[in-house]
Structure 1
Amino acid sequence: MAMTKVLTPGPTPGRDPSRDPGGEQRAAARPGQTPALASARMRPRDVVRVGGSGLRARPLRVFLSALGIAIGIAAMLGVVGISASSQEDLNRQLEALGTNLLTVSPGQTLFGESSHLPAESEGMIGEVGPVTAVTATGTTPAKIYRNDHIPAAETSSVSVTAARLDLPKDVGATVVSGTWLNEATHRYPATVLGAKAADRLGVVEAGPEQRVWLGGQWFTVVGVLAAAPLAPELDTAALVGWPVAEERLGFDGYATTIYARAQEASVVAVRDVLAATANPEKPNEVEVSRPSDVLAAKQATDATLNALLLGLGGVALLVGGVGVANTMVISVLERRAEIGLRRSLGATRGQIRVQFLAESLLLSAIGGIGGVLLGIGVTATYASFQSWPAIVPVWAMLGGVLATLVIGGLAGFYPALRAARMSPTEALATP
């Protein structure tokens, strides 16, 4: 019986299998092929191993490219972290000081002249139901100097202010040295300096031997205040008792600022009636404010600046992405022989693409993780100098790493595509 020989069509002589779009698929489907040639897929472990080996071969270039990514991520994370830390510090301050403080001060008349509050204003404001505390200060014409040899023109921008005894408690001010005025000292030449006033006058701490030249006479510094966030005008003031201000400093007795605490739920309602309550005849000559709103406005200003800095961080991150793309393009050009050898041994175009894309992603991931760690360090260091709680949002850290992976993928896409398109003969022929 005659035997029939079945012929299997082979490759056409002179034809480059790499230029046959279906060649790789047909080769992978042939039975009996080795595993390396039969499968066009690489396990994730193999992808990481192959990508890592390419990076280890060029440590300096990889370090510089990763550094560019790290700087961009650190800048962005630092801006977000410092802003969040500042916000948390503000929230803690407001929680401790309260947002229910309102201030009442005289405005101007219809003719542009300075007005003043009636002497009964404090008492009338105290009669408002939701108001829980009322205190006041009054500006005096007296001047203060470190000693009696200072020229009269050099006032150091420190004002002399009469104060009620319950002022610190109601405005949230604290004494850092000495004591506050009391029933025994507010009738005598004694003063408490605000934080900036003490610094400008060269007073380090309060004490019986510490005196200043105030209103043409010596006053003993009995206390020094810490900075008062809700009443910053106290920071540049020398505070004296109300009676001694009237008796010795030419004070007319009219309050220039009234501080009122109201129940939290009624702050807005109280603010609406304070002007008419303080000066029923001329409510248009009264100014009412909420100090916590000023702090919130300052925070909004800081947020605008942070947005600008965030944009600069984004530019730095883009520059890092360009560095990654540059590294990968050069890597493709330098490794043509390697690409050709792998293609000759059966590596598919998809495997070559995956290899170079994996290198790009690993390089970006290294830069991203390094940038996150650097950003956390910058935030923690700055926050410690400012005595803030160090806050770095988790979403910012995850977003930073994700951003680097996206940039790495985009930066490595073209080099990976270019490497995959190389034919084995072209790549091996490259010197």
Structure 2
Amino acid sequence: MSRNGRNLVPARLTARDVAQVGSAGLRGRPMRVVLSALGIAIGIATMIAVVGISSSSKAKLMQDLDKLGTNMLVITPGQDMLSGKSAQLPEKAPQMIGQIDGVEDVGAVGTVDANIYRSEHTPATQTSGLSVQAASESLLETLRGSMASGRWLNAANSTYPAVVLGDHAASRLGVTAPGQQVYIDGRYFTVVGILGPLPLAEEIRTSALIGWDAAQKLLGFDGHPTSIYERSADDKVEDVRDRLQRTANPQAPHEVTVSNPSDALAAKAASEGAFTKLLLGLGGVALLVGGVGVANTMIISVLERRHEIGLRRSLGATRGQIRLQFVTESLMLSGLGGIAGVLLGSVATWVYATTGGMPWVVPPTAMAGGFVATLAIGTVAGLYPAVRAARLSPTLALHAG
């Protein structure tokens, strides 16, 4: 249809017309559109990344728990009720615990009254927070640990001045490979191995471990274990736990403490939720700011396109059609930002998980929820501009153009 050589818009707008008009309106303001969509994208990307990183961390912790097992218990001396001092476990406690029905592996360490240094020239005050401990040959298997390099204590080297370092201990001492020597209680010990990480026995990571016999012969170790690590069959854990105190120290079972180190990992996984909620709140604020940007863009759009609105109203377009047009534009703007945000958040999670050796986990509900949130923000942000556009007087709008 034409009049005086000018193309006119049909008086009745179809859904296709509305979509085309919305697209044209958005294309006419590229920089403003990009900035508004970017605000939405940042908010959604933040929320997706927070949920994804938290979920990936939890998945990694659960993998560690599955690998390390939840069937290990740690027996340590409690407090002497009479003297108030730390009690002692009997020297034969590891052997007695090993006889409990359901116990599969038992390993032990005992604190040695000695300090470890890189060399005899290191000042005595620079202990680096490390401890020296006697270790049983079965400890590594009980902990399900691994060697980063070298070998573990065995029957051949556990009677000689040989030492295995926890990974943190090796780092603090500057020991990088087996064969190097460290200085313990006036004597040089040869490093025969360096342990890998032990999530269920963090105290071992800062220890220098010496064979049980060598510790008694060379360093005056009294033979009393200070920590006993026990693995039992999965279906026997609770039964074994009930018997550990009486078995470890029949004379004073109340002076024995039993704990499950896997509980700490489980608690850590649970604590991820609290931090996630805080960061989700920050993402929500960014999303709200993006919504304000969308609303601002749409309000300016109404002011700039008053002549177009007046022309369409004069040709018969209803207020509902005008409202639909501007709400559609707002939804398109928010939807573009939402899609970009979901992609950016997923990529950020993938980078974090890959560099941290974690499984990449982004819950589908988070992605769907993020996109739905953008549509909700777009609808709310577009309502006022749409209503304002629909209320414009056709005559005044035409004169304003």
Fold equivalence (TM over 0.5): yes
Letter in 2 for 1:172: R
Q: Is the 8 A contact 2:107 2:140 kept in 1?
A: no
Q: Cα distance, 1:430 vs. partner?
A: 1.6
Q: Is the 8 A contact 1:177 1:205 kept in 2?
A: yes
What residue in structure 1 maps to residue 5 of structure 2?
A: none
What residue in structure 2 maps to residue 143 of structure 1?
A: 115
Q: How many residues align?
A: 393
What residue in structure 2 maps to residue 329 of structure 1?
A: 299
Aligned match for 1:293, one of 256, 263, 269? 263
Letter in 2 for 1:318: L
Inter-partner Cα distance in structure 1 for 2:304 and 2:84: 79
Question: Which stretch shows the higher mean deviation, 64-73 or 297-306?
Answer: 297-306
* Structure 1 segments of 4+ aligned residues over 3 angstroms from their partners: 34-37
What residue in structure 2 maps to residue 370 of structure 1?
A: 340
Q: Is the 8 A contact 2:65 2:265 kept in 1?
A: no
1:170-213 Cα distance to aligned partner (Å, 9 max, x none):
10211011111111111101111101001000011223xx1111
Q: Rg: which structure is higher?
A: 1
Does 1:158 find its partner at 2:163?
Answer: no
DSSP 3-state at the match of 1:343: helix
Inter-partner Cα distance in structure 2 for 1:351 and 1:331: 16
DSSP 3-state at the match of 1:392: coil
Inter-partner Cα distance in structure 1 for 2:299 and 2:310: 16
1:385-405 Cα distance to aligned partner (Å, 9 max, x none):
211111111111111111100
Inter-partner Cα distance in structure 1 for 2:195 and 2:24: 63
Aligned match for 1:134, one of 106, 109, 122? 106
Aligned match for 1:255, one of 225, 240, 248? 225
What residue in structure 1 maps to residue 43 of structure 2?
A: 72
Does 1:98 find its partner at 2:69?
Answer: yes
Q: Cα distance, 1:315 vs. partner?
A: 1.1
Q: Is the 8 A contact 1:142 1:250 kept in 2?
A: no
CA 1:35–1:76 in 2, change beyond 3 Å: closer, same or farther? closer
DSSP 3-state at the match of 1:221: strand
Q: Is the 8 A contact 1:67 1:367 kept in 2?
A: yes
**Structure 2 regions of 5+ residues with no counterpart?**
1-7
What residue in structure 2 maps to residue 10 of structure 1?
A: none
Residue pairs, 1:102-121, within 5 angstroms: 102-110=73-81, 111-121=83-93
Residue pairs, 1:133-212, within 5 angstroms: 133-207=105-179, 210-212=180-182
Residue pairs, 1:275-314, within 5 angstroms: 275-314=245-284
Does 1:382 find its partner at 2:334?
Answer: no
Inter-partner Cα distance in structure 2 for 1:165 and 1:296: 29
Residue pairs, 1:204-223, within 5 angstroms: 204-207=176-179, 210-223=180-193
Q: Is the 8 A contact 2:70 2:262 kept in 1?
A: yes
Q: Cα distance, 1:76 vs. partner?
A: 0.7
What residue in structure 1 maps to residue 58 of structure 2?
A: 87
Q: Cα distance, 1:77 vs. partner?
A: 0.7
DSSP 3-state at the match of 2:86: coil
What residue in structure 2 maps to residue 9 of structure 1?
A: none
CA 1:354–1:103 in 2, change beyond 3 Å: closer, same or farther? same
Q: Cα distance, 1:95 vs. partner?
A: 1.2
CA 1:274–1:334 in 2, change beyond 3 Å: closer, same or farther? same
What residue in structure 2 maps to residue 228 of structure 1?
A: 198
Inter-partner Cα distance in structure 2 for 1:281 and 1:316: 63
Structure-1-length-normalised TM-score: 0.88
Inter-partner Cα distance in structure 2 for 1:164 and 1:405: 62
1:109-167 Cα distance to aligned partner (Å, 9 max, x none):
22421111112211221122121111111110111001110010100011111111111
CA 1:365–1:248 in 2, change beyond 3 Å: closer, same or farther? same
Inter-partner Cα distance in structure 1 for 2:297 and 2:246: 71
Does 1:60 find its partner at 2:52?
Answer: no
DSSP 3-state at the match of 1:68: helix
Letter in 2 for 1:58: R
Q: Cα distance, 1:276 vs. partner?
A: 2.2
What residue in structure 2 maps to residue 343 of structure 1?
A: 313
What residue in structure 2 maps to residue 391 of structure 1?
A: 361
Letter in 1 for 2:333: L
Inter-partner Cα distance in structure 2 for 1:334 and 1:395: 39
**Structure 1 regions of 5+ residues with no counterpart?**
1-33
